[in-house]
Structure 1
Amino acid sequence: MSSSPFTYPDRYLPIAEHGIIGNLHTTALVSVTGSIDFMCLPRFDSPTVFGRILDADKGGFFAFECVTEGVQNKQLYLPGTNILITRFLGEDGIAELTDFMPIVEGERDFAVFRRLKGVYGHHRVRVKVAPRYNYGKAGVIAEKNPGGRGYRLRDPEGKQPTMLLLCDLDLEITDEGLSGIIDLHQDDNIDFILTLEEGIDFDLDWMNCFNECRRYWTDWSAKCHYDGVWREAVLRSALALKLLTSARYGSTIAAATFGLPEKMGGPRNWDYRYTWIRDAAFTMYAFLRLGYTHEAEQFMDWIRDKCMHHLQLMYAVDGETNLEEETLEHLEGYHGSRPVRIGNGAYNQKQLDIYGELIDTIYLYNKAGGSITHAFWQSIVVLVEYVVEHWHDKDHGIWEVRSGKQRFLHSAVCCWVAIDRAMKIADDRSLPCPYEEWRKVRDDIYAEIYDGYWNEDLQAYVQYKGSDVLDASALLMPLLRFVSSQEPRWISTFNAIEENLSADVLIFRYKLEHGAADGLEGDEGAFAICSFWYVECLARIGQLDKATVVFEKMLGYANHLGLLSEEIGLHGEQLGNFPQAFSHLSLISAAFQINKKKR
């Protein structure tokens, strides 16, 4: 193990040992030791400039390290904000690092503000800025800023924008970037602003930007309508979802990162920096519940502009449709978890459930007072007509299996939802549609699901027609109002899932050892979203005390900041991309359901 500074004890910190900051165009993961270990520039789905969470040697980082031995770290958000505080607690006293990104209109107005403050005592702090452009394929050329203060950090290949590090320190220029030693005394404030060379046309005064950023987030948080128990956890989840939402486009990405493994050392390592129709629709449902109608309006604008003429599973943030998957062979992956993939080969899969999830969100948007114009309604009718023609088709399902198409239960339920919610919108708005035809198909789907997906031996609804595999997505049946939460067949399915797919409060989406096949190698952890579906179902069937306990135990799997990745491993570790929108939106929904039942 290397003893050089800036090297983690086992080369990688746990995924959960990070916080997230962002400017609604991109995000950065900041470790509990104060190192930026992941950041794409200038957009969520751009190449990384810092990526050591995916390769300790080649990924790049921007780190501070107290020289004193035995320093302890503590990390927190300023309440109601995405301003991150990292504290260094040691024999020399207390030092503090404040990190945030100003909320700006354009992607190119990017900046990361970092302030080292001496709270008490004297500290010697090493600083190292070591970008690695283009997913770590290129190094960096560091030089004095010929235009004035600070240093330039250039991409040797010229593919990504040149960064400026603005600071008043003399740093050493090295092949890796910049490094130096800071003597930090009590009441010292040492500021670093990492920005772009081009187009700096916004205020770079540290305190002004801090106050504006804090005001933005506290004003946004004050609009949250939720006033029940666990408000702090609900609000933190909302703040995380907001960080994953593009201010420019209104689209929401599934997670901030790519390539983080679903099992340590395993091959299930995907790129989630894109807009899944399903995930984004569920996110808008969460925003609407919390009173954030502006976000729903923006998303509907994006949907109308980018997707209604041809609906596919996922898109780039700007609506680009080609997300061809490739492997970054030069990266070793988190703890050697390879391959590290960018792009996502599922982008051109057929997944029928997205029609129901999208139209359900449009239905909720309509209930919240959103506008359904004639042109928008005509586009919705086209989607519904597709479902009417194709609901009996096989697809790849909610879990995006790569083992071939099946007639998945969740897809069939969502086809029912698509038609049902469109009929309700038409009723509410007195809009023209072939109502009786839609009703007949909706009822045919219901009849087929009720009998065709029931497995008499298992006494449960199964993953796809003709299978004997249990799937946690069946927990969504009452959440989507397909069945009553007191429906005997669904209660029996719930009991089977509870018995076969659970490890205490952790719920697996399915069990590979029980016959499930998804065409992928390796194992995975329990899915946080499935656990929160389970909580919501417990509340709906009247087991409110148990729902409360399960929910609170699930909160215990969140990290020190209340953030969740996609999965929880069997050692209690967070796995998969981080933070994950699915996990946080389902947390919000579960809290709402318990709170509703308690009232």
Structure 2
Amino acid sequence: MSDLPIGQHALLSDRHSAAVVTSDGCVAWLCLPRFDSESVFASILDDGGGHWWIRPSGRATVGRGYLEGSMVLRSEYRTETGAFELVEALELRAPTDPHRLGVGAPHTLLRTVRCTSGTVDLETEFRPRPGYGTVVPRLVRVDGGLQAVGGTGTLTLSTAVPLVVGPEGTATGRFRLGAGDEQAMAVQYRAADESPAAPYDADRIAAAIETTVAAWRGWSELHQRYQGPWRDLVHHSGRVLQALSYQPTGAIIAAATTSLPEVVGGGRNWDYRYAWVRDASFTMRALWVAACPHEASDFFDFIAEAGATALPGRHLQIMYGVGGELDLTERTIPHWSGWRGSAPVRVGNGAWDQPQLDVYGDLLDAVSLLIDQLDPFTPTLRDFVARLADAAAAHWHDPDHGIWEIRGAPRHYLFSKLMCWVALDRASMMADRIGMPDRADGWRAQADRIRDAILAEGWNPAVRAFTQSFGSDDLDASALMLPLVGFLPPDDPRIRATVDAVTAGLVDDRGLVRRYLAGPDVDRLDGSEGSFLLCSFWLARVLAQDDRVPEARAVFERAVAHVNDVGLLAEEADPETGELLGNFPQAFSHVGLVNAAWEIARAEERAAAGEAGTSERSR
């Protein structure tokens, strides 16, 4: 099993699929040709999952970073005899439209090694295991490399390194580089009904890396305009969110991996390689800050098309496959031990058919924010907006499973009611823009009914906080969203009391916020979980909205202290050690970072304007 810290991994993406690579030169996770395809390499979850190493033969130190403005990774290694750099990317083609990064990506992983000083001895090991480790492919020598035949497609390994092919689908090689020497390698995927790819030569690999860097930089220069505090982190998070989007449809995945645990050795291990409506809607808001969301229409077209079968008549599904697939039935991979023995490993996600009422508000809040990019509305999208509002009006009083997808009996979760209010509030405000002015009053009246219910049943005077569900004493960090969506002002005494309660009851010893106090009595799952980075960023946002800027900055800094060496965040952090936990990298965490930085920037602007006004009046 793998025990390398999650934080020592990095992401590569071509906006079709993702590779997760380690600080010691291993491709430890790769699914082809899509984010949610079966894995080709998966040693992050089990040694039997397959891997592709390029590493020094002896001990080495390493420093890593993405090439500026890109998701192309460069790792610099220093050994006892010399130094070398490893550059890695999932290939992008030069876009004919710089807004549409990833069109026609050839499903190719590129890796180049160059000795920068002295001499270095290196080794490579190519051990693909398609089908979640169930297939041992046949390795066939071809001019310029190898082909791995078996599973749902063919892999072509391009390399000039002499390889020894073992009997169990593994190829190994050793090579020495002197200063200035290079080796270039690539793995290309072709589906079973396609002809295998011809190997790339070294010049083509080098050119493909240059093209990939240029494509990412072109997108970044065109889209990224944020100039506030933590600018570099915000811009990088914007690229990470773009890297987690599926270009052919506009779907946005929650994370690149499955089953990285919320607590080491526990069973809270889920598959996040799908398009959650909630996560994707939050991501669209973050991209509005970190990068012009040119893909907004693609995303909403995807959701409207995927959800067309759900409304009316049943709840909008909360997640989809990246191609719009509906059935994401969950199963386990029994022959895998999981990261640090954290079993079970799951593929699919059993929450796919849960009713979760907040999705209506998540979507309509994003539509209202991005309305200028979406206008003029297509008839399909206009109709979808109206059906979302009507569904919120019809179902807001139903119990559901809530934002955290708690696998118990449905309850009247506060956040779900809140987001139904958001759905109707935003729909009433957009009624003229979508050509339905006659619907505004009805939607507003329903929003007012929900508001009255939340104020009457969501506030717990004994706890002095808005709590997890109506009639509950349990704290939940999602109550912090009340001011963030405009339900109550941040200086409302009930909001301030809720902030105080969350701080006293859910903040761990490292200053990070838990979602809620997990355990079998609350969510019917064994064990606990880490502290949730998104919730920590929510707290920073609420404090900033209340103009408590020093406190907001302190919370933000505690959260971003968990960014790894290449600027990535997982879902959670261990409350005792601070080690990253959960699937990686996590869109929610980067969404939180972007939005919190922006909120703090706005608060600082207000403070500066106020000081300027005071100074002017004193003259």
Same topology, TM > 0.5: yes
Which stretch shifts more, 372-381 or 409-418? Answer: 372-381
Structure 1 residue 227 corresponds to structure 2 residue 227: yes
Structure 1 residue 37 corresponds to structure 2 residue 43: no
**Structure 1 partner of 2:266:** 266
CA contact (8 A) 1:33 1:86 kept: no
Q: Name the SS for the 1:127 alignment partner.
A: strand
- What is the alpha-carbon distance in structure 1 between the residues aligned to residue 434 and residue 155 of structure 2? 51
Over 3 Å counting, the alpha-carbon distance change for 1:225 and 1:153 in structure 2 is same
CA contact (8 A) 1:510 1:516 kept: no
* CA shift for structure 1 position 506: 0.3
1:321-332 to 2 correspondences below 5 Å: 321-332=326-337
**Structure 1 partner of 2:80:** 91
Query: Of residues 422, 427, 431 in structure 2, which corresponds to 1:426?
Result: 431
Query: Of residues 21, 41, 44 in structure 2, which corresponds to 1:50?
Result: 41
* CA shift for structure 1 position 500: 0.6
- What is the alpha-carbon distance in structure 1 between the residues aligned to residue 415 and residue 392 of structure 2? 14
**Structure 2 partner of 1:241:** 241
- What is the alpha-carbon distance in structure 1 between the residues aligned to residue 527 and residue 92 of structure 2? 40
**Structure 1 partner of 2:600:** 594
Question: In the alignment, residue 284 of structure 2 is paired with which amino acid?
Answer: M
Which stretch shifts more, 332-341 or 135-144? Answer: 135-144
* CA shift for structure 1 position 304: 2.6
- What is the alpha-carbon distance in structure 1 between the residues aligned to residue 304 and residue 559 of structure 2? 36
CA contact (8 A) 1:97 1:115 kept: yes
Q: Name the SS for the 2:541 alignment partner.
A: helix
Question: In the alignment, residue 14 of structure 2 is paired with which amino acid?
Answer: N
- What is the alpha-carbon distance in structure 2 between the residues aligned to residue 312 and residue 454 of structure 1? 29
Which stretch shifts more, 433-442 or 338-347? Answer: 433-442
Which stretch shifts more, 123-132 or 342-351? Answer: 123-132
1:338-417 to 2 correspondences below 5 Å: 338-368=343-373, 370-417=375-422
Query: In the TM superposition, what whole-angstrom CA distance separates every residue of 1:489-533 from its partner, at most 9, and x where no partner exists?
Result: 1111111001110024300000136x9611211110000100000
* TM-score, scaled to structure 2: 0.91
- What is the alpha-carbon distance in structure 1 between the residues aligned to residue 294 and residue 518 of structure 2? 41
Query: Of residues 134, 138, 145 in structure 2, which corresponds to 1:141?
Result: 138
Q: Name the SS for the 1:385 alignment partner.
A: helix
Over 3 Å counting, the alpha-carbon distance change for 1:11 and 1:294 in structure 2 is closer
Question: In the alignment, residue 117 of structure 1 is paired with which amino acid?
Answer: R
Structure 1 residue 441 corresponds to structure 2 residue 446: yes
- What is the alpha-carbon distance in structure 1 between the residues aligned to residue 273 and residue 39 of structure 2? 12
Query: In the TM superposition, what whole-angstrom CA distance separates every residue of 1:330-363 from its partner, at most 9, and x where no partner exists?
Result: 0011111011000000000000000000111111
* CA shift for structure 1 position 32: 0.5
- What is the alpha-carbon distance in structure 1 between the residues aligned to residue 84 and residue 335 of structure 2? 36
CA contact (8 A) 2:144 2:158 kept: yes
CA contact (8 A) 1:526 1:569 kept: yes
* CA shift for structure 1 position 101: 1.3
**Structure 2 partner of 1:217:** 216
Which stretch shifts more, 194-203 or 209-218? Answer: 194-203
* CA shift for structure 1 position 434: 2.8
* CA shift for structure 1 position 553: 2.3
- What is the alpha-carbon distance in structure 1 between the residues aligned to residue 252 and residue 32 of structure 2? 17
Q: Name the SS for the 1:507 alignment partner.
A: coil
**Structure 2 partner of 1:578:** 584
Number of equivalences: 582
CA contact (8 A) 2:85 2:115 kept: yes
**Structure 2 partner of 1:177:** 170
Query: Of residues 156, 181, 185 in structure 2, which corresponds to 1:188?
Result: 181
Q: Name the SS for the 1:151 alignment partner.
A: strand
**Structure 1 partner of 2:157:** 165
**Structure 1 partner of 2:483:** 478
CA contact (8 A) 1:48 1:136 kept: yes
* CA shift for structure 1 position 454: 1.2
* CA shift for structure 1 position 370: 3.4
1:307-322 to 2 correspondences below 5 Å: 307-310=307-310, 311-322=316-327
- What is the alpha-carbon distance in structure 1 between the residues aligned to residue 414 and residue 229 of structure 2? 34
Q: Name the SS for the 1:170 alignment partner.
A: coil
CA contact (8 A) 2:92 2:105 kept: no
**Structure 2 partner of 1:118:** 115
* TM-score, scaled to structure 1: 0.94
Q: Name the SS for the 1:547 alignment partner.
A: helix
Query: Of residues 80, 94, 109 in structure 1, which corresponds to 2:106?
Result: 109
CA contact (8 A) 2:88 2:110 kept: yes
Structure 1 residue 511 corresponds to structure 2 residue 517: yes
- What is the alpha-carbon distance in structure 1 between the residues aligned to residue 307 and residue 400 of structure 2? 19
* CA shift for structure 1 position 376: 2.2
CA contact (8 A) 1:288 1:368 kept: no
Q: CA RMSD in A?
A: 1.7
CA contact (8 A) 2:2 2:339 kept: no
- What is the alpha-carbon distance in structure 1 between the residues aligned to residue 198 and residue 243 of structure 2? 23
Over 3 Å counting, the alpha-carbon distance change for 1:291 and 1:202 in structure 2 is farther
CA contact (8 A) 1:288 1:296 kept: no
- What is the alpha-carbon distance in structure 2 between the residues aligned to residue 357 and residue 182 of structure 1? 53
CA contact (8 A) 1:21 1:101 kept: yes
CA contact (8 A) 2:294 2:373 kept: no
Query: Of residues 58, 63, 66 in structure 2, which corresponds to 1:74?
Result: 63
